[in-house]
Structure 1
Amino acid sequence: MNLVTTMLINVINNSHNSVVDRDIAKYLIANHENINSLSISELAKNTNVSISQVSRFVRSLGIESFSDFKEALVYHGEQKRHTGLQREIIDYRVYQKMVTEEITYFYQNFDESRVDKLVYDFYKYPKIAIFGILNSDNGAKELQYNLIGWGKICISYTNFQDQLDFIKSADSNTLIVIFSFSGNYVMKNGYSRFYHTYDYLKSSKAKVYVITKNNLVQELEYVNEVILVPIKHDLYNYTLQCLVDLIFMKYQKNLIK
């Protein structure tokens, strides 16, 4: 599943969105393979709405035009949950071995001192936001739930545009933690072209942590701290759970002291 599809699903799942917006989102998901050859007038006709309503819908996703929307859909492409399993179909026992190796590799190679800094900042900053998209959003939500359960209030928006709006307006009393294993969220690339992520991050006054496997993120001047996550087989959902548990256990331990 790719970012654009995830954004459309969020539109459908939000009962506060209009029927028009949800109908457009449903049509785009059901016909995603043919969207690139579809004109905005054809989409409007097929969903029984006006062209201006389609344009407004696209802008509500943070994308400037329908042509940009189609480009974004092509750019993001298909992103599977387990990228390491796309190349071939494997036996479950082999998969089980890979999962074990992934978890072991994480614990043997992860630098815990990076987490200690983050935990310290959890106590220091009065405003905390934890963000992620696609699979990384699961880690963001899990960490949020754990911290709130122990009295640490933090926010975690599912909607990508809401995340970007928060980053854009954040002040110096704000700590932002971004889960992005690929690093695409914070790099200057297609994301920044369509959603202006680069501009928002660069101008943000918040302290920004990025949790990633991408070494290049360490070179970004607008990222204050990077927590590098060792990955062996790209089964990062298991590594993600281990990391979130580790962060929370360290926070919990410091709270009890």
Structure 2
Amino acid sequence: MERLYIILLGIIQSEPNDSIDCQIANYLLEHIQDLNDITANDLAQTCQVSKSSISRFTRRVGLNDFYELKHMLHHYQHNLTKFDFTSRSDNENSMIQYIETVSQHIQDLRYMLDFDAIDEITDDIYYYPKVIIAGSLQANSVCLSLQVNLFSSGKVVQAKVKYTELREIIDKADSQTLIIVLSSTGRFFQRLFVRDQRLLKKDKPKIYLITASAKLNQLPYVDKAINLHTLSDYASGTFQLELIANLIARRYNEKVRSHYFDQ
């Protein structure tokens, strides 16, 4: 269920407000608790779209029909425990607890992070002719920041955070393309390729997955996953992803300067 509502949020984030899919997604999210009796015809009339548009929308989000979409949304429950996190003392102010927990997570990276993998990514960014940084929702700003920082060192990369573009871009990428995916939950590919094995093609891009999920299962089309092994709590946020992105940008700058001064 989490995957579906994140896909819907991604659609309203990246689509024009007056697009058909944006209108449908926005209505479903705003009325997620009141969809028990709604039919595909009702939804089409309410959103002022055709019934065929509803069918195309359900297929786009990876479902077979409107009944399946409605069934999944019907079982949605707000996640009131999302903002819980591990703290040192129950007597401390919750805001202080949060800051201290974030600080501890970042300190833990010093001992858990695979620095050799950072060097490997940096080398590939340097040598691959086409580099795409991909992410959605929480990782958007991290992708764009890494794009700007790499450009400061002379490397032009694409940062793709628009949901509607990601599937086609990744699907068309070949072996000359490096894709770096930033995903807080590690479920990026589950959301994008719901029942899809196209990324197993022979002429596939090289793919890194950087995630803060401690429950990541290795995907067959991901060449290397950098798992930060942090707790999956609210205090984790995207801080670890930002730190990794900054390390990559800094390491790349060191590599460029080294090559420049060696010439």
Q: Which residue of 2 aligns with 1:255?
A: 256
Provide the C-alpha distance between the structure 2 equivalents of 1:82 and 1:161, rounded to a whole number of angstroms.
Answer: 27
SS at the partner of 1:35? coil
RMSD of aligned alpha carbons: 3.5
Query: Structure 1 pair 241/254, CA: closer, same or farther in 2 (3 Å)?
Result: same
SS at the partner of 2:157? coil
Asked if 2 retains the 8 angstrom alpha-carbon contact of 1:11 and 1:25, the reply is yes
**Which amino acid letter does the alignment assign opposite residue 42 of structure 1?**
D
**Which amino acid letter does the alignment assign opposite residue 111 of structure 2?**
Q
User: 1:117 and 2:115 equivalent?
Assistant: no
User: 1:27 and 2:27 equivalent?
Assistant: yes
More helix by share: 1
Query: Structure 1 pair 231/185, CA: closer, same or farther in 2 (3 Å)?
Result: same
SS at the partner of 2:225? strand
Q: Which residue of 1 aligns with 2:171?
A: 168
SS at the partner of 1:172? coil
Question: How does 1:75-224 map onto structure 2 within 5 Å?
Answer: 84-85=84-85, 91-186=94-189, 191=191, 195-197=194-196, 199-203=197-201, 205-214=204-213, 219-224=218-223
Quote the offset at 1:250 in angstroms: 0.5
Asked if 1 retains the 8 angstrom alpha-carbon contact of 2:14 and 2:164, the reply is no
Quote the offset at 1:236 in angstroms: 3.5
Q: What stretches of structure 2 of length at least 5 have no aligned partner?
A: 259-263
Quote the offset at 1:125 in angstroms: 0.8
Query: Structure 1 pair 178/93, CA: closer, same or farther in 2 (3 Å)?
Result: same
The worse-fitting range, judged by mean Cα deviation, of 36-45 and 59-68 is: 59-68
Asked if 1 retains the 8 angstrom alpha-carbon contact of 2:33 and 2:74, the reply is no
Asked if 2 retains the 8 angstrom alpha-carbon contact of 1:105 and 1:232, the reply is no
| Residues paired across the two proteins, number | 252
**Which amino acid letter does the alignment assign opposite residue 241 of structure 1?**
E
Provide the C-alpha distance between the structure 1 equivalents of 2:65 and 2:108, rounded to a whole number of angstroms.
Answer: 44
Quote the offset at 1:31 in angstroms: 0.6
The worse-fitting range, judged by mean Cα deviation, of 14-23 and 200-209 is: 14-23
Quote the offset at 1:136 in angstroms: 3.0
Identity across aligned pairs (percent)? 27
TM-score by length of 1: 0.79
SS at the partner of 2:180? strand
Asked if 2 retains the 8 angstrom alpha-carbon contact of 1:62 and 1:161, the reply is no
Quote the offset at 1:195 in angstroms: 2.5
Asked if 2 retains the 8 angstrom alpha-carbon contact of 1:175 and 1:207, the reply is yes
Provide the C-alpha distance between the structure 1 equivalents of 2:46 and 2:40, rounded to a whole number of angstroms.
Answer: 10
**CA distances 1:61-107 after superposition (whole Å, capped 9, x unpaired):** 55553234345657887578965449999611111211111111112
**Which amino acid letter does the alignment assign opposite residue 38 of structure 2?**
L
Provide the C-alpha distance between the structure 2 equivalents of 1:163 and 1:16, rounded to a whole number of angstroms.
Answer: 16
SS at the partner of 1:156? strand
Query: Structure 1 pair 98/59, CA: closer, same or farther in 2 (3 Å)?
Result: same
